Amino acid sequence: MIKEPRRRAVLGGAIAASALLQDRVFGQAEPNLSVIPWSDQPPPVPPPFANIAKGLTRWENLDTWITPNDKFFSMARYERPVVDEKTWRLDVGGMVAKPLTFTFNELKSLPRREVTCTIECSGSNGLPFVTSAIGNASWTGTSLAETLRKAQIKRGAIEVVFYGVDQAVEVLRKDTPFELKFTSNFARSMSIDDAMNPANLLCYGMNGAPLPVPNGFPVRLIAPGWFGIANIKWLTRIEVRDTRFMGRFMGRDYVTVREEQHDGKTIVTETSVGRMLLKSAPARVTSRDGRYRIEGMAWGPATVAAVEVKIDNEPWRKAILGDRKSEFAWRSWHLDWSPEIGEHTITSRAIDQSGNVQPAMDEASIANKKTYWESNGQITRHIRVA
Ligand SMILES: Nc1nc2c(c(=O)[nH]1)N[C@H]1C(S)=C(S)[C@@H](COP(=O)(O)O)O[C@H]1N2
Ligand SMILES: [Mo]
């Protein structure tokens, strides 16, 4: 993990004051602080999706760096099973020399680790009603890599599959003579390399409390740096395989379809949703005693090195970044603003330490993407200053 020089210690009073203010902005409500709502509110989640996506809050409601458990979004493609932790088991099997089974208490007695990481649903900003499927929490659990080491992965294995308790009937070749129906558990896989990342947790705690049911009680996978879908909830089986797992959420859905140009030819790529991408969002505009401030968050696979903000058609301006508190967590930013009365647009873009810039909506990687997954294009919000 790359540590940055402590800005407060290195630089003088003006920055120190703004750093303190920054901490306070995302700490607690301040007196005389008002939040100006965006004028482009997302529509409510329509009925077929309302059971899948729950707890999507408005960006304006963000006022803490850690998302409290009762404000954390919940995505469930099948159901939200209520698991009895007394009968629950976690099996580790497949291509391992020593298959393992854990009870809840056995798992909790293993060495404890904590990681603070931001989870974003890969569908966020892909559909008009999903604009804030993101949260940041401190997760407690035990190391996945250590557990796999104990099970002793056999030679020739290539993948680790994670199965949830939640099930549904899946249909292949629907409405053809070859239609096939089968009951399937929610599952996703990772390469052995990715699974062995020491940051991955078999997680049972969220912000100091047991995992809430909607977030995977009693145990879920936390795979820092990966889109939400990889973080399997209500985990019950881990299976090591020597063939690629191509279940619905790996190979048929959560597939990003994109047109790419290669040597004058158009190639369509279909890739499984993977690691989180460089992204930022304007969260809210506050005013206090006539002074305005644009506040937001930025996150991505590498260190966010800068955030820039475009107001209306003005040139990009550098925002002030908050501290980098965890390798896998979002970073706050803000920009002071003296707006004229009327309608304005606000766009933000994150830049990483290698100089990669969050793409504009009309850049090829976004414009030529046919599916709503992995939508990390720059977000523009509308606001009316009265
Ligand atoms: N077992 C299981 N795990 C799951 C899902 C699911 O439907 N079933 N949804 C995934 C999706 S799409 C996302 S975005 C994240 C969201 O985690 P959260 O509900 O704790 O916010 O969980 C993932 N893990
Ligand atoms: Mo998701």
- Give the whole-angstrom CA distance, residue 348 versus residue 250: 31
Q: Which ligand is nearest to the CA of 233?
A: 1
- Per-residue burial over 29-65, b if 16 or more Cβ lie within 10 Å, else e, is eeeeeebbebeeebeebeeeeeeebebbeebbebbeb
User: Quick check: helix, strand or coil at residue 42?
Assistant: coil
Q: Are 163 and 232 in contact (CB under 8 A)?
A: yes
Q: What pairs with residue 239 in β-bridges?
A: 93, 161
Q: Are 333 and 280 in contact (CB under 8 A)?
A: yes
pLDDT by residue for the chain (386 residues), tens only, comes to 444 433 333 333 343 334 434 444 454 567 788 999 999 999 999 998 999 999 998 999 998 999 999 999 999 999 999 999 999 999 999 999 999 999 999 999 999 999 999 999 999 999 999 999 999 999 999 999 999 999 999 999 999 999 999 999 999 999 999 999 999 999 999 999 999 999 999 999 999 999 999 999 999 999 999 999 999 999 999 999 999 999 999 999 999 999 999 999 999 999 999 999 999 999 999 999 889 999 999 999 989 999 999 999 999 999 999 999 999 999 999 999 999 999 999 999 999 999 999 999 999 999 999 999 999 999 999 999 99
- Give the whole-angstrom CA distance, residue 272 versus residue 252: 8
- pTM (2 d.p.): 0.92
Name every protein residue with a CB atom under 6 angstroms from any ligand 1 atom.
72-78, 119, 121, 164, 166, 186, 214-215, 228-229, 231-234
Q: Are 100 and 91 in contact (CB under 8 A)?
A: yes
For position 28, what pLDDT does the model report? 52
- Per-residue burial over 370-382, b if 16 or more Cβ lie within 10 Å, else e, is ebebbbbbbbebe
Q: Are 312 and 340 in contact (CB under 8 A)?
A: no
Closest CA to 348 of 290, 307, 300, 287: 307
Distance 231 CA to ligand 1 centre (A): 6
Atom 23 of ligand 1, residue of closest alpha carbon? 229
For position 26, what pLDDT does the model report? 53
- Give the whole-angstrom CA distance, residue 350 versus residue 126: 18
Distance 27 CA to ligand 2 centre (A): 27
Distance 220 CA to ligand 2 centre (A): 14
Distance 105 CA to ligand 1 centre (A): 23
